[in-house]
Amino acid sequence: MSVSMVFGLLGGLGLFIYGMKQMSEGLQKAAGRRLKQLLGMLTTNRFVGVLVGTAVTAIIQSSSATTVMVVGFVNAGLMTLAQSIGVIMGANIGTTVTAQLIAFKLSHYSLHAIAIGALLYLFSKGDRFRYIGQVILGFGILFLGLTTMKDTMKPLRDSAIFVNAMREFGAIPILGLALGTFMTILLQSSSASIGILISLVSVGIINYQMAIPILLGDNIGTTITAILSSIGTNRTAKRAAAAHLTFNVIGAGTVVVLLHLIPNFAEIINNFILSISNFFGQTPTQERLLANTHTVFNVLNTLVWLPFIGVMVKIVNRVVPGEDVVIKRGLSFLDERMLETPSFAIDQLKAEVIRMYEIAVDMVRESTQLFLDYDQEVVKSVEQKEDIVNELEEELVTFMTKFPRNSMAKSDVKKVDMYYAMIDDIESIADDAFDIAELARYKRENKIVFSEETQKTLEDNFSLIYQLLDDTYEMIDKRETQLAEKILEGEQKMDQYLLEYRNGHMERLGQGICDPNAGIVYLEILDSMEHISDQMADITYSILEAK
């Protein structure tokens, strides 16, 4: 293989991948938000999950993008593991649309598509037409890259060394499986590796039977994206990625074992796919036959596994053992039907506010403990809870706007207003806890060390805040005036601490005892702690006013 041939192949592959990327990005910009909403609204119905996964992947032309979204949803608690498996199965079917497009003889229209797409993309004023132009442009570049690869590889038909090497891989299915897996992992795109495979078949370097195990390997290699995206996520998200790998490995492995055990099994597959194609009135080319095999394999693999999603869940629970503490997202105690009885709805509103407060308290405790014992998993826990608190605030405020105030007693209206103000304060506490966790991360990454005296003052601050948090919880729950006095005194004490510690820290800086960078972090923590105490005082005032 000459240098010019290597660059021709790599250049064609580069065009193909770039075109695929442009087409996928354009489609995601045009419909991405709606597709994310569609994924997020999935029910527990596994059939719906498969259909949605298929549709989303067929539209955005990227199973990787779908599986990454799914892992993200599972990590955020918006989707269960069982739901994610159905969507991933659908993504495997949806990604076969790319191979079907490649199998069409559309290469001679590539320059037409590039011209039309470039005009729309560069000169359209509206975003919608720009996105459509980006899709058409990507489509044209993709097929231009495919044509370049085919033209570059044609001379390889006459290379005995290359042809014999490919036949060796084709004769031993496990080697073909490994080759397909490696190619897809290397290229980070099953569509790109399938494009190369179809090009090899189209110029006669390998035949259909040799291509089957390589095609199956492409299916395994595509799972690497989900696996990479699951790094740093919770166990359930890791299990979703493991399910993708397990599903594809078992399906592909079963076919490879049969290819080893049954001498003419490749011919059986060939005849089966031909009979399906003939049923639909097709006389398929070798490229179309391979694309149809890709589709049929993924459909059959899904149909076989669909009734056994529960079994798959048990398998991945063993592969990724352990338990995550999952916090339910959204409202737990409220329902719009309760608004017919406002007094009952207010009691449930109190339970929801207390739950929101408990999450914020956990955030404060976790974020402050990071300065005593840093743990990246705790940082992620704080980040997740911050999202949950923000969602709760939005849903609670939306719910409270629906109270029939005109028909409610004045005391009940006051209670609703009290909880409205309280929710804002709790969300502010969560924001402060998140800021403290970020400061802990900054301290860790920049190897900042506090002096013993600074560390001691921080621990004293933390102890006071913990006590105030506990007292405020009792205040929200029982609304006792005696607790109110204690909380307000604690808030004033925190103000005094802030002033004293800030002055003491400035003295230590002047004496060269403390690092200036440590000083910045220290003062930021004190400000956040003081602000948390302010929010607890505001909660207390809201309760007193309503009482």
Predicted local distance difference test score (pLDDT) of residue 115? 92
Q: The domain 336-546: what is its CATH number?
A: 1.20.58.220
Predicted local distance difference test score (pLDDT) of residue 280? 72
Predicted local distance difference test score (pLDDT) of residue 298? 87
Predicted local distance difference test score (pLDDT) of residue 3? 77
Distance of CA 425 to the CA centre of its chain: 30
Task: Indicate the domain borders of the chain.
Answer: 10-319, 336-546
Which residue stretches of 480-546 are H helix?
A: 481-510, 516-546
For residue 284, give the H/E element and its range: none
DSSP state of 547: -
The span from the CA of 231 to the CA of 248, in Å, is: 19
Q: pLDDT tens for residues 232-274?
A: 667 877 888 888 888 889 988 898 888 888 878 888 888 888 8
Distances (CA, A) of 214 to 144, 166, 252, 256, 353: 24, 10, 10, 10, 56
**Non-local CB neighbours of 102 within 8 Å, separated by 6+ positions:** 146, 191, 194, 195, 198, 287, 291
Which regions of the chain are under pLDDT 70?
1-2, 20, 24, 27-45, 60-62, 64-65, 72-73, 75-78, 102-107, 150, 153-154, 156-163, 166-167, 169-171, 188-189, 229, 232-233, 323-330, 504-516
Contact 427, 385 (CB under 8 A): no
Distances (CA, A) of 436 to 442, 466, 522, 536: 10, 15, 10, 17
The encoded tokens of residue 505 equal 């820290």
Share of the chain above pLDDT 90, in %: 13
**Non-local CB neighbours of 536 within 8 Å, separated by 6+ positions:** 425, 429, 468, 469, 471, 472, 487, 490, 491
Place of tokens 């033209």: 151
Share of the chain above pLDDT 70, in %: 84
Q: Give the burial string for 348-360 (b: 16+ CB within 10 Å, else e).
A: bbbebbeebbebb
